[in-house]
Chains A and B, each alone.
Chain A
Amino acid sequence: MTALLAIENLGKRFGGLAAVQDLSFEVAEHEILGLIGPNGAGKSTLFNLINGVFKPDSGRVVFRGADITGMAPYLVARAGLARTHQIVQPLGAMSVRENCTVGACFGRENLPLAAARQIAEEVAVFVGLGDRLDVPASQLTVAGKKRLELARALSAQPTLLLLDEVLAGLNPTEVERMIAVIRRIRERGVTILMIEHLMQAIMSLSDRIVVLNTGQKLAEGSPSEVANDPAVIEAYLGDPELAAEFRGALA
């Protein structure tokens, strides 16, 4: 399968800290690629590098064959790459409907307002916010805001969706629901690159996993390959709870 997104030798330093170092991997079309690693491994920085919030010091980001390295975020979105944020960023005073309409209007299709509104409504319903379409975003629950973040990104009808810890802060029931939604998104043909800390969730969702540690790629492969990789286990043994989760996820 052709690589939808290719990260080539990407590097970024902040002062003395190398947040991302010589990182390379690919995301194939229609796959769900999970990105895991201890805190501070550089995962969110990587997302920021991909969608243009930060400019890398070295390396390239190639999306659908085109070099998008350092391109302005709105141009990246226009190219068909949407992303959610770890700390949700709802457009508070606007309703769920309006939030999604923004995504639909300015995303890949660059739709006019009327068409965008329809897509927005469809996506909101798909994600499970159909009963709260006209509620101002600031009044949603945490789970609602996470769904909105997802719905908004999806409204842009992206080819590639970057999910940054969409499951964080949700209770087990909400996690189950969100996992189901993510699976349905992939069924619709969207490729997904997701950062997640919930081991069981990401292990079961992902086709492949990339493990980051201190800004570098530690391992890459299928979930079971990665879970059995001694280097990965060692990296996580520094974090005993995660190591336990690993063993639990394998069982």
Chain B
Amino acid sequence: MIGLLASLVDGLLVGSVYGLAAMGISLIWGVMDVINLTHGAMIVAGMFSLYLMVEFLGVPAYVTLPPILIGGLIVGIALYWIAVHRMIGQPPLMSLLSTFAVNLVLIGLGTAQWGTVLFNVPVSLPGSSIGRYTFPGTHIAAALLTAAIAFLLYLFLFHTRPGKAVRAVSGNREAAELVGIPTTRVLALAFGLGVALACVSGMLIGTMFPFTVLSGDAYQLKSFVVTVLGGLGNPAGALIGGIAIGLFEGLTTPFMPVNWTLVFEFVLFVVALIAFPGGLLSLRLPRRAE
């Protein structure tokens, strides 16, 4: 029983990072109705940035977070201009395909460079032990950093002008334009933020688990499951959804081979898409006037 509890706690820790990744998708989806299929590649970019900086520049693992965050922001803004800008206002299919195309290019370049070799970034951090069970230090650190970043995001969205502009544009783009908000720049910023979140979550995952160039796909899919569970365009929901998935994995992995967990997650994904288009949270919150 304690073992199960330990598994659940660990699931909570790891799940929060899934939530962080999902926040990246959710933010972009909510603000501009675009599904960012470069998400997986950006997670991998975060992982490899961590690896390269630690291995070749000798930077301590967690110190890489700020540069990765900023780098992600810049890359995200660039990606917006390359693949997304022209697709705004067009059917969602088009931005789906354009971001998908960029993803192919990036993963293709990645596999050309690094193949499918497994990489590992050893991070030694003392864990916390309760009885026989140890919670890896990296997991605890990742969860704490996730909470910090989520809090910063909240501060940004609700207490800064650019952040409020982002929320305005996601609510009603035309109205925001009429009020004089430079919507295109806001969209680019929002996209950059979403990508930055993806990169940082990749970095945190890289401190916890080994990875390959192709790992991004699996985490991207998890991000979608989480986003759908939490409600599209709802970053808070994404975080909660991530924790829910983490808990689900903590609950099931002690009892069944890892592969079956995947099956359940994907089935859950499809079921959630069908049954809860507003996300799990939409079931509990009272209806608010739009």
Contact = CB atoms under 8 A, between A and B. Distances in A.
A and B directly contacting (CB within 8 A):
yes
B159 interface: no
Interface string A1-26: 00000000000000110000000000
Contacts of A15: 287, 289-290
A87 to B, nearest CB: 15
Q: Is the interface of A mostly helix, strand, loop or mixed?
A: loop
Interface in B250-290: 287, 289-290
Interface of A: 15-16
A16 B287 CA distance: 9
Interface residues of B, number: 3
Nearest to A16: B289
A98 to B, nearest CB: 20
Contacts of A16: 289
A235 B134 CA distance: 73
4 contacts: A15-B287, A15-B289, A15-B290, A16-B289
A15 B290 CA distance: 9
A12 B289 CA distance: 16
Shortest Cβ-Cβ A-B pairs, 4 listed: A15-B289, A15-B287, A16-B289, A15-B290
Nearest to B290: A15
Nearest to B288: A15
Contacts of B289: 15-16
Interface string B57-74: 000000000000000000
Nearest to A14: B290
Contacts of B290: 15
Contacts of B287: 15
A16 B289 CA distance: 7
A15 B289 CA distance: 6
Nearest to A17: B289
B72 to A, nearest CB: 38
A65 B289 CA distance: 37
A80 B57 CA distance: 74
Interface in B190-221: none
A16 B290 CA distance: 10
A18 B289 CA distance: 13
A16 B286 CA distance: 12
Interface in B128-152: none
B29 to A, nearest CB: 23
A15 B286 CA distance: 10
B98 to A, nearest CB: 20
A68 B270 CA distance: 32
A15 B288 CA distance: 8
Interface in B175-203: none
A15 B287 CA distance: 7
Nearest to B287: A15
A40 to B, nearest CB: 15
B102 to A, nearest CB: 27
A55 to B, nearest CB: 17
A223 B286 CA distance: 45
A1 B290 CA distance: 44
A182 B14 CA distance: 66
A176 B289 CA distance: 42
B290 to A, nearest CB: 7
A7 B215 CA distance: 58
A31 B289 CA distance: 39
Interface in B24-59: none
B89 to A, nearest CB: 14
A91 to B, nearest CB: 14
A161 B290 CA distance: 33
A110 to B, nearest CB: 29
B93 to A, nearest CB: 14
A172 to B, nearest CB: 30
A213 to B, nearest CB: 22
A189 B144 CA distance: 73
